[in-house]
Amino acid sequence: MVALRHDYRVLIADDDRGFRETLEEILTPHFQTLTVECAEQAIEVVEHDPIDLVLFDMHMHLLTGLEALGIVKQLRSELPCILITADLTDLLRAQAMEAQAHAVLKKPIARRELLIQVGSALWTLHHDPRLAEWLAC
């Protein structure tokens, strides 16, 4: 498998510590990961750190993942974001796509599906041939 570990930074924003740690465990062998427990922290990280992708849980305190996605897109329109929810509806999917989410994933998420969507989102930003090779593995 192609080594990408040090090339891409993925920010995970989820108020559920267990789920946040699960996502981190899946992604860390392949990418640098940062984790935060709320949308406000995620927005602050995006403002100050070089991030390549944000994963937002839909239901967090104060701001929802969808609201945070909208703010992040105002700050960095090119930054891909993936929304994660246990309550996926057609309306939420439409709202997320209108807000320019790269994807909306339903919990529980299959490991392979998560990796494919993360790789695909990173490809949209970087067009790195190694990502295409990594996705093909």
Mean pLDDT by 10 residues, the chain (137 residues): 76 97 96 96 97 96 94 97 94 93 95 95 90 80
pLDDT confidence of residue 132: 81
Helix (H, G, I), strand (E, B) or coil at 32: strand
pLDDT confidence of residue 5: 67
pLDDT confidence of residue 130: 85
Give a three-class secondary structure readout of 57-114. Answer: ECCCCCCCHHHHHHHHHHHCCCCCEEEEECCCCHHHHHHHHHCCCCEEEECCCCHHHH
Domains of the chain: 9-136 (3.40.50.2300)
Q: Name the strand (E) or helix (H) holding 53.
A: strand 53-57
pLDDT confidence of residue 3: 61
pLDDT confidence of residue 19: 96
Burial tier of 83 (Cβ tally within 10 Å: 0-12, 13-18, 19+): buried
pTM exceeding 0.85: yes
Measured in degrees and rounded to the nearest 5, phi and psi for residue 132 equal -60, -40
Helix (H, G, I), strand (E, B) or coil at 38: coil
